[in-house]
A and B are shown apart, each in its own frame.
Chain A
Amino acid sequence: MIIALEGVTKSFGAVRAVEIVSFEVRRGEFFAILGPSGCGKTTLLRILAGFEEPDDGKVLIDGKPMAGVAPHARPTNMVFQNYAIFPHLNVRDNIAYGLRRQKLGRQETDELVAKALELIKLPGYGGRAAQELSGGERQRVALARALVCRPKVLLLDEPLGALDKKLREEMQIELRQLQRTVGITFVFVTHDQEEALTMADRIAVMAKGKTLQIDSPAQLYEAPNCREVAGFIGTMNFFHGRVTARPHDHAIIDAGTLGRLEVGGGGKLPNIGSAITVAVRPEKLTLSQRPIEGWNAIAGRVSAQAYFGDRSHFYVRVSGVDRLIAVARQNAERSLDDPSTIGTDVWISFAPEAAILLSE
């Protein structure tokens, strides 16, 4: 374990920014802390960097307790949200900033800087002034400046937030490759679930100062442990009901006006009589003229449609459900004149194994 947090708590006045957070980060892992703004994720990162001291709890980095250790004495380096490139120094001096204490010769320093510039694919940029850099270049220089110090943990605060969408997607892949190359543990904070899913080995989902679930991207997406996580990661449809029977490893749910739903296949089943939420991803729902035999089927009417290029979402109004139900369809074939289906009566069907049960 490179990082261990045990019951870390931090308040600012009456606001509890981080509340009893405990988790561990493995050596060499790409770890994401994901949550909406104000959930305490940046505070947590600043606690790791040493800019905030927790009110309670323990922080261990590489087995050593970090209580009272100043930021400059920690084996961590940080890439700041706005990159914090020193405006009075050129690229070379920015990157070499953290090397002063190692008392290297000029030649050694130059070599390290050149290597770092190579790593971030900006060779020959050493002489540029900080002001001449574009947003993407600033981000790379900030990365190089931190990595050149060979930290045990690299902390990244919304590293891609300031970049435009195209550049962000490129950097997601590049950052991932870079992390594999240097083999340093990365801990990064983001509010962008897509970013977390594509880059991280494991993700801690946070809300209101607490961690809700810490898991791999696939686990978070396929098996969220609560409504908040299910709703925050991707799109999710929810139906409410009560468990009436548990034949074999399935649960039979009375969903009121929606009728009887059957859910099963893996996971702990709730007790008979308990109120339950059935969650289904849009891509696991099928639209058809008739209900599909052996699947759960709900009647509704298509009320809106959204085109995403590779797929489309149909939004179906189901009586007794407040929110529209999203159903995804892959646009695998090239079709320009898709007749609008809005207003047609349809059946939404899903297999018992496609749904997730969440306790309320």
Chain B
Amino acid sequence: MKKGMGDPLRIYGPVFLMFLYAPALMLPLFSLNDGIFPNFPLAGLTLRHYRSLADNSNMIAALKNSLALGSSVAIISTVFGLLAALAMTRFLLPGKRVALGTIMLPLVVPSIIFGVALLVILRRFLNVELSLWTIGAGHLLICVPFSMLVLMARLEGFDPSLQEASQDLGENAWMTFWRVTFPLALPGILASLLMSFTASFDEFVLAFFLGSTDTTLPVYMFSQLRFPQRLPSMLALGSIILAASTIVIAASELMRRRGVRPQTGAGL
């Protein structure tokens, strides 16, 4: 391909990145603005919006809810995903494709439809009180497919004779799992934990429909947007979340790269 100045891809790249990241970078900028409205010119720099967050007990409660919910969903979804992925990759199951398709369905169904449907089922037919538990159940539905996809990709890559070798060397199925399968699947397990935590942590629609007054951070943030004077502190909160997720993503990427060291020889 010609690599002159006229190459449209050379312009497309930077423009694309700008559309992607510039709005997100506005967030920390306006969170430092000593004023209520996010517009230029800035009225002066301040950290008071960040300080005010520390005193906001409703926000703290929502954050705690989100962290607890995210961690629980991540662990349960990874366990379910691992079991399902082991079954899918190791055995020839009848109706495997149908089962896989059904589990993956939440990835393509819009979450608003899921939210409404689950709300109707929970309230109308099962008469369950809405709480963090109902949000968690909803999140599990959308996280298990993620976990399963990640773990299946990891498990499909490895040689079934490794498990046979372990049994041949005197270990039963349980010890073989802990000494061979688990360590080999570990990078996938960590990736699954991170992905499902993030998916649950910033999920809004299901949390909005399935939650009660005791709610998660995204729902709390949405509720605060009605009050203009609360906007700057929400921008500050958003900036903190942005920074934290950047660190987590960077860490997980490092971990993933350590996990996929080139494996020579094994497959011929």
**Residues of chain A contacted by B266 (CB below 8 angstroms):** 82-83, 85, 87
**Residues of chain A contacted by B170 (CB below 8 angstroms):** 72, 98, 100-101, 149
Within 131-187 of A, Cβ neighbours of B (below 8 Å) are at 131, 133-135, 138, 145-146, 149, 162
Cα A145 to Cα B184 with chains together (Å): 19
Cβ-defined contact, A88 with B168, below 8 A:
no
Chain B 234-268 per-residue mask, 1 if CB under 8 angstroms from chain A, else 0:
00000000000000000000000000011111111
> Number of A interface residues, CB 8 Å?
30
- Give the residue among B159, B165, B168 with the most A Cβ atoms within 10 A: B168
Chain A 60-97 per-residue mask, 1 if CB under 8 angstroms from chain B, else 0:
00000000001110001110111111111000000001
Cβ-defined contact, B165 with A84, below 8 A:
yes
Find A84's partner among B162, B172, B179, B261 (CB 8 Å cutoff).
Answer: B162
Cα A83 to Cα B264 with chains together (Å): 12
Cβ-defined contact, B168 with A77, below 8 A:
yes
Cα A71 to Cα B172 with chains together (Å): 9
Cβ-defined contact, B169 with A149, below 8 A:
yes
On whether A86 and B180 interact (CB within 8 A), knowing A80-B161, A131-B262, the answer reads yes
Cβ-defined contact, A145 with B169, below 8 A:
yes
User: Is A49's CB within 8 Å of the partner chain B?
Assistant: yes
Cβ-defined contact, B172 with A72, below 8 A:
yes
Cβ-defined contact, B168 with A82, below 8 A:
no
**Residues of chain A contacted by B166 (CB below 8 angstroms):** 86, 97
**Residues of chain B contacted by A49 (CB below 8 angstroms):** 168
Find B167's partner among A71, A100, A138 (CB 8 Å cutoff).
Answer: A71
Cβ-defined contact, A80 with B164, below 8 A:
yes
Cα A98 to Cα B167 with chains together (Å): 9
Task: Output the least CB separation between B173 and chain A (Å).
Answer: 9
Cβ-defined contact, A80 with B165, below 8 A:
yes
- Nearest opposing residue in chain B for A49, CB measure: B168
Task: Output the least CB separation between B168 and chain A (Å).
Answer: 5
Task: Output the least CB separation between A148 and chain B (Å).
Answer: 9
**Residues of chain B contacted by A131 (CB below 8 angstroms):** 261-265
User: Is B156's CB within 8 Å of the partner chain A?
Assistant: no
User: Is B171's CB within 8 Å of the partner chain A?
Assistant: yes
Task: Output the least CB separation between A47 and chain B (Å).
Answer: 13
Cβ-defined contact, A72 with B167, below 8 A:
yes
- Nearest opposing residue in chain A for B182, CB measure: A88
Cα A115 to Cα B104 with chains together (Å): 52
Chain B 167-208 per-residue mask, 1 if CB under 8 angstroms from chain A, else 0:
111111000000110011000000000000000000000000
- Nearest opposing residue in chain A for B262, CB measure: A131
Secondary structure class of chain B's binding surface, majority of residues: loop
Cβ-defined contact, B167 with A88, below 8 A:
no
On whether A86 and B168 interact (CB within 8 A), knowing A131-B263, A162-B268, the answer reads no
- Give the residue among B158, B162, B165, B263 with the most A Cβ atoms within 10 A: B165
Cα A87 to Cα B263 with chains together (Å): 7
**Residues of chain A contacted by B263 (CB below 8 angstroms):** 87, 131
Within 18-58 of A, Cβ neighbours of B (below 8 Å) are at 49, 51
On whether A84 and B161 interact (CB within 8 A), knowing A49-B168, A72-B170, A162-B268, the answer reads yes
Cβ-defined contact, A70 with B161, below 8 A:
no
Cα A7 to Cα B267 with chains together (Å): 35
Cα A134 to Cα B263 with chains together (Å): 11
Cβ-defined contact, B161 with A97, below 8 A:
no
Cα A145 to Cα B162 with chains together (Å): 13
On whether A78 and B165 interact (CB within 8 A), knowing A72-B170, A131-B262, A162-B268, the answer reads yes
For the complex of A and B, the 6 pairs showing the least CB-CB separation, nearest first, are: A98-B169, A84-B165, A84-B161, A71-B167, A88-B183, A78-B168
Query: Residues on B close to A: CB < 8 A?
Result: 158-159, 161-162, 164-172, 179-180, 183-184, 261-268
Query: Residues on A close to B: CB < 8 A?
Result: 49, 51, 70-72, 76-78, 80-88, 97-98, 100-101, 131, 133-135, 138, 145-146, 149, 162
List 12 additional A-B contacts (Cβ < 8 Å) besides A51-B164, A71-B167, A84-B159. A51-B167, A70-B167, A72-B169, A72-B171, A78-B165, A78-B168, A80-B165, A87-B266, A88-B184, A98-B170, A101-B170, A138-B265
> Could you pull out 24 A-B pairs where Cβ atoms are within 8 angstroms?
A49-B168, A72-B167, A72-B170, A72-B172, A77-B169, A78-B165, A78-B168, A80-B165, A81-B161, A82-B161, A84-B161, A84-B162, A85-B266, A86-B162, A86-B165, A86-B166, A87-B162, A88-B184, A97-B166, A98-B169, A98-B170, A100-B170, A135-B265, A146-B169
